Amino acid sequence: MADSDLTPQSNVDLSNLQPDEQQPNAAEQESKREAEAQMRRDLLATVLDSAARERLSRIALVSPSRSSQIEGILLRMAQSGQLRGRVSEQQLIDLLEQADEVQGKSGPKKKGQIYQRRKDYDDDDDFGF
């Protein structure tokens, strides 16, 4: 081994050691994301009546992806002027059913788990009498 292999390099680029300029951008992006989320919630609050809003929040607890899909549909409909007045719970249910039909045609259906129970008689009460 040569001595040059053992010595540290003295021409290290010090420009990489400066403070990261991406940090303020990350904070700006986070605030922008929060503002967009707030605008989305406000628009949904004006478009949906209380029962429909409650149903959509319950759907979000169970299936966040489905909830965001329905929210996106509602927002597009509101922005394009297709909604007349507030969306009732029944209209939201109809929209959910339509989304199910479209998803069923385009993608695979989700299958639920099937539990099989024993159908024969279990005589655990027999004490050998």
Q: What does the buried/exposed string (b/e) look like for 13-35 if buried means 16 or more CB atoms within 10 Å of the residue's CB?
A: eeeeeeeeeeeeeeeeeeeeeee
Rounded distance between C-alpha atoms, residue 91 and residue 68, angstroms: 17
**39: pLDDT strictly greater than 90:** no
Segment 58-91, tens digit of pLDDT: 999 999 989 999 999 998 988 888 888 888 999 9
| Positive or negative: CA dihedral 22, 24, 25, 30 | positive
**Topology adopted by domain 33-103:** Helicase, Ruva Protein; domain 3 (1.10.8)
Q: Give the number of other CB atoms < 10 A from CB of residue 103.
A: 14
Task: Tell how far CA 62 is from the center of its chain.
Answer: 10
Higher local confidence (pLDDT), 103 or 11: 103
Structure tokens at 10: 């003295």
